[in-house]
Amino acid sequence: MVESISFQVAQVEAFTELPFSGNPAAVCLLDSPRDEQWMQSVAGEMNLSETAFLMPRGGVYRIRWFTPTTEVDLCGHATLAAAHFLWTEANVPRETPLQFDSASAPLSAENKDGSIWLDLPATPTRATSPPPALADTLGALPLETEVSPFDLLVLLSS
């Protein structure tokens, strides 16, 4: 017997108003919780850099992001895509601010004058030694290297 699963899924181009010209993300709106293996399989099928999974819970949306191979703690462009999807495809009024519960922090999105404004967590950086192959990879010696839970920041001379 095949299990019946109800969900909506769409591909959204973030950072653009033109088709096929932005940063694509899949958005999957669930009507019931799904396990990690199922979400990972959907993300693999979508084969985009990230797929955002949304589960409504009392006015807040639980959001999780999966690449085709792993779950990640935060993804800005897929959150932007999720907000757009909720306002355009899921009948959430555009004047309604969105609240997301994520592994990294509470997130929010607002529609201001036709633009989506996201409130993402600030992650302080700390000085670190550059990874061994960084200078060769960049073709330049870093002046400074900083790390945060989500990023490696590199200061170059130009």
Give me the phi and psi of 17, to 5 degrees please.
-110, 0
Q: What count of other Cβ atoms lies within 10 Å of the Cβ of residue 87?
A: 18
- What value, to the nearest 5°, has the Cα angle with vertex 92 and ends 31 and 70? 50
Amino acid 149: pLDDT? 82
According to CATH, the topology of domain 7-119 is Diaminopimelate Epimerase; Chain A, domain 1 (3.10.310)
Catalytic residue among 13, 36, 45, 50: 50
Amino acid 3: pLDDT? 67
SS3 sequence of 20-48: CCCEEEEEEEECCCCCHHHHHHHHHHHCC
Amino acid 1: pLDDT? 65
Residue 45 is among the residues annotated as catalytic for this protein: no
Q: Per residue in 7-40, pLDDT tens?
A: 899 999 999 988 889 999 999 999 999 999 999 9
* Close Cβ partners of 23 (under 8 Å, ≥ 6 residues apart): 13, 14, 15, 16, 49, 77
Question: What predicted TM-score, i.e. pTM, was given to this entire model?
Answer: 0.82
Q: Per residue in 62-117, pLDDT tens?
A: 999 999 999 999 999 999 999 999 999 999 999 999 999 999 899 999 999 989 99
**3-state secondary structure at position 103:** coil
The end-to-end CA distance of the chain, in Å, is 61
Each domain of the chain, given as residue ranges in start order, spans 7-119, 126-155
Matching residue, tokens 């036709």: 114
